[in-house]
Amino acid sequence: MSDRGAFRGAAAIVGVADEVSPTGMIDGSVRALEARMIKAALGDAGLSLADVDGVACNNSPGWAPSMELAEQLGISPRWTDSTQTGGSSFEIHVEHAASAIAHGLCDVAVAVYASTPRSDHKRGTGGWRSRQAVAATPVAEWELPYGLRMPMGAYALAASRHMARYGTTAEQLAAIAVSTREWATGNPRARLQDPISVDDVLASPMEATPLHKLDCCLVTDGAGAVVLASAERARHLARPPAYVLGAGTCHTHSMVSQMPDLCVTGGAVSGPQAFALAGISPAEVDVAQLYDSFTITVLLALEDLGFCEKGEGGGFVADGVLGPGGALPTNTSGGGLAYTHPGQFGIFLLVEAVRQLRGECGPRQVDGAEVAVAHGSGGVLSAMSTIVLGTEATL
């Protein structure tokens, strides 16, 4: 992807859809939800299933998610992607699809995700990972026997290290949750809508020191989809396009015990690459959608993407810079902390970024939003992928 001119603005997100519930639970199977989201996102774009020749999906009980989904949809795509990196998969799908469209490998691509962990838990079939899934992994042999509670334990290690190295405080992490909840109070679809304070966060139960319950994401059902098309085609569709200006991906480890530096993620690579392809700096971003599995996830992303210097994230977020009226509106839907979090949140980052660029977000709309970033995090701070979107194909 070294040819910046061939990639930047060659493709656009032209349709989005998501489904959440005030109860956190949604009726229907995962496959039914995926099909519903694809239909809704295509309808949003003014397209139909007959237009689709590219499919991306990471979610399947079998071994070939995109193949199984395409078979169910009754299509034979000429571009396919089953990349699975957890919550960042969908930013990677957009990166891959935009590149494929730029090179003529497909015309219209869909990426979709659906999951029902809250319903699964109620049925007694849920859990962070099933015993069968964990049994043969290095995590089971080298981390879980030592009492590391997963997944929050991995993030607690990163938060503890950041505090020890840079003096970051629990109050500063809590400020991220407070700002995110401020956005959720303006989103009638958010799971949690009551405002909270720093004291509320610190008074919530400790999950894995130093992370409290309100530092941690929700567990809900949810689903979403995005549709991409060429820039030329996008100009003639139903909604204003969100052009893909830049993209970058980097994964640094699988197990958190192998993370090269607990205070530095792959975002330190993916962010600069995405901004370089887009031809912009972090200072030109109007709205940011940063994966918020935990408050520390956001703080590390802010530093690694260059919104502030390494080690200065705590002071950067302390005064509400991420909330309504702040200089860097972030996670404007309410994020994974308050909107929804069905196991993997990356698809919702993209949906909200597009809606902000279209001006469709009502009371939480960021005035004049022209450039948005969606930054996914997968695994345990393992795989980072950054997408830069804009209202114009060139900036």
Instruction: Please write the tens of the pLDDT for every residue from 169-196.
Output: 999 999 999 999 999 999 999 999 999 9
Instruction: Please write the tens of the pLDDT for every residue from 95-138.
Output: 999 999 999 999 999 999 999 988 887 776 655 454 445 556 88
pLDDT at 383 over 50: yes
Model confidence, pTM: 0.95
pLDDT at 159 over 50: yes
Instruction: Please write the tens of the pLDDT for every residue from 262-315.
Output: 999 999 999 999 999 999 999 999 999 999 999 999 999 999 999 999 999 999
Task: Report the pLDDT averaged over residues 321-344.
Answer: 98
What pLDDT sits at residue 139?
85
What DSSP state is assigned to residue 366? P
Name the percent of the chain lying above pLDDT 70: 95
pLDDT at 2 over 60: no
What pLDDT sits at residue 35?
96
Active-site residue, 291 included: yes
Q: How confident is the model at residue 395 (pLDDT cuts 50, 70, 90)?
A: low
Q: Residue 151: CA atoms inside 13 Å, Cβ hemisphere, count? A: 24
Residues 6+ away with beta carbon under 8 Å from 115: 30, 59, 221, 222, 223, 342, 343, 344
What pLDDT sits at residue 4?
66
What pLDDT sits at residue 131?
46
Direct distance between the N- and C-terminal alpha carbons of the chain, in angstroms, rounded to an integer: 19
Q: What is the CATH number of domain 4-121+217-390?
A: 3.40.47.10
Task: Report the pLDDT averaged over residues 17-35.
Answer: 94
> What are the tokens at 362?
């009502």
Segments in the chain forming alpha helices (H): 4-7, 30-45, 65-73, 89-102, 117-122, 131-135, 138-142, 152-166, 170-184, 198-203, 231-234, 267-278, 295-304, 313-317, 346-358
- Pick from 276, 286, 290, 288: which is nearest to 245 by CA? 276
On average, the pLDDT of the chain sits at 94
Residue 62 phi/psi, 5-degree rounding, is: -100, -155
Instruction: Report which listed range, 53-62, 89-98, 130-139, is most confident.
Output: 89-98
Active-site residue, 339 included: yes
Cα separation, 88 vs 185, whole angstroms: 26
What pLDDT sits at residue 128?
46
Task: Report the pLDDT averaged over residues 335-354.
Answer: 98
Q: How far is CA 345 from CA 91, 202, 221, 361, 376, in A?
A: 10, 24, 11, 19, 8
CB 152 within 8 A of CB 216: yes
> What are the tokens at 37?
């989201």
Q: How far is CA 326 from CA 213, 234, 366, in A?
A: 25, 32, 10
Task: Report the pLDDT averaged over residues 380-391.
Answer: 98
Sheet of strand 287-290: strand arrangement: 79-81, 54-57, 108-115, 222-230, 11-19, 242-251, 383-390, 371-378, 287-290
Instruction: Please write the tens of the pLDDT for every residue from 225-251.
Output: 999 999 999 999 999 999 999 999 999
What DSSP state is assigned to residue 79? E
pLDDT at 3 over 70: no
What pLDDT sits at residue 132?
45
